[in-house]
Amino acid sequence: STAGQVIKCRAAVAWSAKKPLSLETVEVDPPKAGEVRVKIKSSGVCHTDAYTLSGEDPEGIFPVILGHEGAGVVESVGEGVTDFKSGDHVIPLYVPQCYDCEFCKHPKTNLCQKIRVTQGKGLMPDGTSRFRCNGKQLFHFMGCSTFSEYTVVCAISLCKVDAKAPLEKIGLLGCGISTGYGAALNTANVEKDSTVAVFGLGGVGLAVVMGCVERGAKQIIGVDMNPDKEAAARKFGITDFVNPKDHEKKPIQEVLVEMTNGGLDYTFECIGNVDVMRSALEACHKGWGTSVIVGVAGAGKEISTRPFQLVTGRTWKGTAFGGFKSRDSVPKLVDKYMKKQLKIDEFITHTMPVEEINRGFELMHAGKSLRSIVNF
């Protein structure tokens, strides 16, 4: 057994901003009290990894091991950890659930604050890192760092899942799919026969579509400026596709309001663009329409609209991790997938060995992938 020992393994290291990841042999310390060391099987490549790598994230710290959409198997546990044992199949969660903080005890939020400060600094709760490479300390990322073959996470940032579920797929429930699906189910709480518009038909937007289909929405308008996104989105269940580029003389919200006789019951922004956020709000029906911000805008960006939009009954909301309390919900989402009530396979457009991880980022930037999975 490797328990208690330093493990040497492969990891994709981000040495500095704007540089490709570099495959290295890293040293991973054993888990300390309340921590778990996990052997990662696979990880998805997500925009948040790219955003930090771009150097635009003011909280980004280097050198770092990115990745937060993975799944694996517990290698060993630290002192006091009773919820996990070696061999358990697990998904790391960048939104933890401690069951103890004010936020965990509040029914209306999933934003556990227990380890927020150290997680934001790229460190474990004791203020140190478990990763080294060539004698240099590497930072953790979002409490997950799934681009390493072995990683150490807090036990409150981990959930145990059905061991029969394929680890090379279910890691996607650690971010994009749960975020979009939960935005529809939890944050908007879309009802049967609703009308819906989803702005941005990437992995997150399609997960919103999946949630709206499950709830029986009668019209789901997909909005994307890339015409290549229509075909896959139709398979997920959009009933109409609108490309803003085909309506350059008119703001897209006017196009949608005309199409729907006054606006939509629900709209979702799944891009991270503050101008589109405004369009999504203003495409909502007067009196009752609700718009949910799902996409993450760049640091310092601000949204605007006329307050009259809200005075006249529209609601503007936002969501992180789809509003799911993470440890309670993700194992249930895995079960739903196993019962074929939730799609994951359809989101995976590319699979590659970790050695080719930079190709995953390139495909994402080129708009050619929904999700790329890297395998160890």
3-state SS class at 168? helix
Total residues belonging to the chain: 376
Choosing among ligand APR, Zn ion, none, which partner's interface includes residue 101 (Cβ < 5 to 8 Å by kind)? Answer: Zn ion
268: tokens are: 């979702």
| 114 touching Zn ion, by CB under 5 A | yes
Q: Which string of b and e fits 114-135 if b means at least 16 CB within 10 Å?
A: bbeebbeebbbbeeebbbebee
306 belongs to the catalytic site: no
With CB under 5 to 8 Å by kind, the binding choice for 98 among ligand APR, Zn ion, none is Zn ion
- Nearest approach, Cβ of 181 to ligand APR (angstroms)? 12
Q: CB under 8 Å to 258, separation ≥6 — which residues?
A: none
Q: What residues does 91 pair with on adjacent strands? A: 159
> Residues 10 to 69: which contact ligand APR by CB under 6 A?
47
Residue 111, interface with Zn ion (CB under 5 A)? no
Residue position matching structure tokens 């939960």: 182
Residue 37 is a catalytic residue: no
101 carries an active-site annotation: yes
CB under 6 A: which stretch of 70-78, 255-263, 271-279, 314-322 binds ligand APR? 271-279
104 binds, among ligand APR, Zn ion, none (CB under 5 to 8 A by kind): Zn ion
Contact by Cβ (8 Å): 183, 189: no
Q: Does 338 bind Zn ion (CB under 5 A)?
A: no
Instruction: Choose among Zn ion, ligand APR, none what residue 177 binds, the Cβ cut-off being 5 to 8 Å by kind.
Output: none
Task: Choose one: 99-107, 162-170, 194-202, 319-327; the region binding ligand APR (CB under 6 A).
Answer: 194-202
Neighbours of 328 (CB within 10 A): 13
Q: What pairs with residue 90 in β-bridges?
A: 72, 160
Active-site residue (options: 37, 68, 285, 314): 68
Farthest-apart Cα atoms in the chain, separation = 66
Site for ligand APR in 90-149 (CB under 6 A): none
Cβ atoms within 10 A of the Cβ of 342, count?
20
Interface contacts to ligand APR, rule CB under 6 A: 47, 176, 199-205, 223-226, 229, 244, 270-273, 276, 294-296, 367
- The footprint of Zn ion (CB under 5 A) covers 98, 101, 104, 112, 114
